[in-house]
Amino acid sequence: MAHKVIIIGSGCAGSTAAIYSARANLEPLVFEGVEPGGQLSLTTLVENFPGFPTGIMGPELVQLMKQQAERFGAEYNLEAITSVDLSRRPFILKTADTTYESHTLIIASGASAKWIGLESERRLVGHGVSSCATCDGFFFRDMNVAVVGGGDTAMEDSLFLTRFARKVTVIHRRAELRASKIMAERAMLNPKIEFVWDTVVTEILDPAKQKVEAVRVRNVKTDKEAMLPFDGVFVAIGHKPNTEIFQGQLKLDDDGYVVVHDGSKTSVDGVFAAGDVHDRHYRQAITAAGAGCRAAMDAEKYLEVQLK
């Protein structure tokens, strides 16, 4: 028997969609996927989500959302969707072991931050290493931080961090920025921002102490290595939307983000998108939650017509 609503993703967007659709008696099935809880599950203290005046830990916030959705009848499944067929109705979704059918689909699979790929980086995420300056910049007041990257995101993050940090050092693997001219000029003119060119980060210290103390870097032209002291590292080399399984079935933009119109509607009737999977600009917990609400309401209205 086909489900009324299947939701892919269990971050703020997915769980908010689950809360709204469960309260509408749509009995949503939520696939948590390879990163249960989404980006918030990788963060520590969240201080900008309304309703928590003293802040809340990211993993706790997504767990509370999940519990709230389950209270109204949402079902969570730890499997990951590996393929979909959106050319027929009900839609077909497959995991490694099971096939599911659904009259509507809400895609809330998020976007994953691109990382440098270091073991030390992975161990220090949430302990001085971050991919979100807007989320974590406040914690680095009067500190010395590094931003890895050379595009617009890196420049935006660097400029934002100057509000808090004592000094911001941009580490870029090329001799010039990839950022737009206006963003590059703003960063270059800011007295708090310095640049280290033709350089890559090879290690972040010190995982054993669970805090950032320095980074080891290598000049790509001379191969010369150096150790630079920092209190935090922000990786700003972009995000990758988790949309691989929708290639060729949904309209995606050049970077793989789902294209939406009229709210949360996608290029396929009955398929809706919410959160970072389509939002390349805001990428905040609260905007993702709002998008999840919107997608659930759009799915409910769609089903009112389709299942009469």
Query: Are 163 and 138 contained in the same domain?
Result: yes
Cβ count within 10 A of residue 180: 12
Query: Are 146 and 123 contained in the same domain?
Result: yes
**175 token code pair:** 């001799």
Query: Are 225 and 154 contained in the same domain?
Result: yes
The predicted structure's pLDDT at residue 46:
83
Q: Enter the pTM of the model.
A: 0.79
Q: How far is CA 173 from CA 50, 197, 212, in A?
A: 38, 6, 21
CATH of the domain at 168: 3.50.50.60
Query: Are 127 and 94 contained in the same domain?
Result: no
Query: Are 88 and 225 contained in the same domain?
Result: no
Query: Are 126 and 160 contained in the same domain?
Result: yes
Residue 283: band (very low, low, confident or very high) from pLDDT cuts 50, 70, 90 = confident
Query: Are 249 and 230 contained in the same domain?
Result: no
**293 token code pair:** 């609400």
The predicted structure's pLDDT at residue 23:
97
Question: Which one of 200, 235, 270 terminates a domain?
Answer: 235
Is the pLDDT at 134 greater than 90? The verdict is no
Query: Are 105 and 249 contained in the same domain?
Result: yes
Domain that holds residue 266: 3-113+239-306
- How many domains does the chain fold into? 2
Q: Which residues have a catalytic role annotated?
A: 132, 135-136
The predicted structure's pLDDT at residue 135:
83
The predicted structure's pLDDT at residue 308:
66
Torsion angles phi and psi, residue 271, rounded to 5: -110, 130
Q: How much of the chain exceeds pLDDT 70, in percent?
A: 99
Q: Which of 130-139, 171-180, 228-237 has the lowest mean pLDDT?
A: 130-139
Query: Are 224 and 264 contained in the same domain?
Result: no
Query: Are 75 and 146 contained in the same domain?
Result: no
Is the pLDDT at 170 greater than 90? The verdict is yes
Question: Which one of 235, 266, 298 terminates a domain?
Answer: 235
**232 token code pair:** 């935090």
Q: Please, where are the H alpha helices in the chain?
A: 12-23, 58-71, 119-124, 133-136, 152-161, 181-189, 285-306
